[in-house]
Chain A
């Protein structure tokens, strides 16, 4: 059974803080994704990675960076958190060359005050 875990379910940070969101998957998937989900906007892709140390920008990368040092772990970094980054953050993974199911983590609800 595929499992994708995220480091926190709820997180509250202050404006200007550096924030790390961690995602780990246990199925040896090559591709990993970070999305944010906001009401009325759906899921929007921030970054994705198709291999260790490889990353590509998604549709809304501004204000974010990512790190993939190990295959199973994909980290999202908010360099200087702002209130407009308050959102639900979802990590997902999928095997390479697969167009089938993305497996999602439970999400991290981040509030920036």
Chain B
């Protein structure tokens, strides 16, 4: 079983739409959670960390549900520039290993 699973998409949404992605992780000992963004043919870059209390950064909201072992990313008022692949990332206690999901592709259309 994969450590981290994501729906690959693609999610095709119009500009202005609200879209949500979920990601599940298999190891209950996982400690830190992140969403990374990867543009086509580019390297992944940190979008935001995910805290137990949930956190928001502008149009982006991340939530963690430890009981069900999933994290979510909500994007409000989608922009064309949000088109990218969103990677869910989980680390365990020693922080030396980061487990990446295979990514969810988002296409925002005019």
Partner-B contacts on A (CB < 8 A): 31, 33, 35, 40-45, 48, 50, 56, 58, 90, 94, 97-102, 104-107
Contact = CB atoms under 8 A, between A and B. Distances in A.
Contacts of A41: 102
Interface stretch (B38-46, B54-62, B68-76): B38-46
Given A99-B91, A102-B46, 12 more contacts: A35-B100, A40-B102, A42-B87, A42-B101, A44-B100, A48-B97, A100-B46, A102-B44, A102-B98, A106-B42, A106-B43, A107-B42
Counting contact residues on chain B (CB < 8 A from A), the size range is 20 to 34
A100 B47 CA distance: 11
A98 B96 contact: no
Contacts, number: 48
Q: Which 6 A-B pairs have the closest CB atoms?
A: A42-B102, A104-B43, A43-B100, A99-B32, A99-B95, A101-B46
